[in-house]
Homo-oligomer: A and B are copies of this chain.
Amino acid sequence: MMKSYRLVIDCPDQIGIVSAVSQFLADHQASIVEANHHKDNQENWFFMRNEIEAESFALTLDQFKQEFSPVAEQFKMNWHIVDSSHKPNVILMASRESHCLADLLHRWHSGELDCNIVAVIANHEHLRQMVQWHGIPYHYVPFPKEDKAGAFAQVKELIYEYEANTIVLARFMQIFPDELCKEFAGQVINIHHSFLPSFAGAKPYHQAHKRGVKLIGATCHYVTGDLDAGPIIDQEIMRISHRDSVDDMVRKGRECEKQALARGLRNHIQNRVIINGNKTIVFD
């Protein structure tokens, strides 16, 4: 895969932003692979992602950061630039259910997910073999009722130890504490097994079955202190009928979960997702 730089910007909207950025890029011979813009009219805020062919570019990343600073300051930009060859370090967290974990591991193994899966943390031993077969360290962290804080302290330590910048809750069944949500804001991705905001909370497929809905779904979202209410990255649905038992709904729901999580994570690690309050811009 060609090496590229991804320049991601958001700032108050005004005339001249695109012009200033693209002039800067052209001045340094940047060949632009993909460019995306979005303006939030309600908030009057501007979002931009440029993917630049690295070879074409006359600046190193350090030089870029220095020289681009005045432009960024002029427009009060939040911005960062990422080298696509510096793959993000991802930790997967799981409990007993294997479908999302196995799906992500295979996608990673076959080169579809451009990241380093540096470790799996789980509160059960069930999935150890599958993970280790992929050559990935498996950390069993028990979550006793009386000391969940201690367990999460271990999780936090592991995140630091592995220098992970993305944590994926792949059907991890413990509630992430507020403190960690804040510390790793925008870095923790969850898959919720319902079409949020419907059926938030426990046993969503049972809720859905009881309500008699004709479509079920799954939601990939960033984790915030507000349970199941963080910014949504992606959603997937599947049609069901009266013939579907709760078990059928669970099975079909797993398909939705795998799809929504894999797409959401892929867009996240390619720096295609920008959080905008409690919503997301996804430049896919």
CB pair B212–A279 under 8 Å, yes or no, is yes
Interface 1/0 per residue, A220-242 and B, CB below 8 Å: 00000000000111110101011
Query: Closest residue of chain B to A217, judged by CB?
Result: B215
Query: Closest residue of chain B to A281, judged by CB?
Result: B242
Rounded to whole Å, the gap between the CB of A181 and the closest CB of chain B is 17
Number of copies: 4
A135 CA to B78 CA, complexed, in Å? 51
Q: How many residues of A contact B (CB 8 A)?
A: 64
A85 interface residue (CB < 8 Å to B): no
Contact of A211 (CB < 8 Å), options: B133, B197, B217: B197
A167 interface residue (CB < 8 Å to B): no
Interface 1/0 per residue, A197-221 and B, CB below 8 Å: 1110000000000111111010000
Which A residues contact B (CB, under 8 angstroms)?
Answer: 15-16, 18-20, 22-23, 25-26, 29-41, 56, 98-99, 102-103, 106, 109-110, 112, 133, 195-199, 210-215, 217, 231-235, 237, 239, 241-243, 245, 251, 255, 259, 276, 278-282
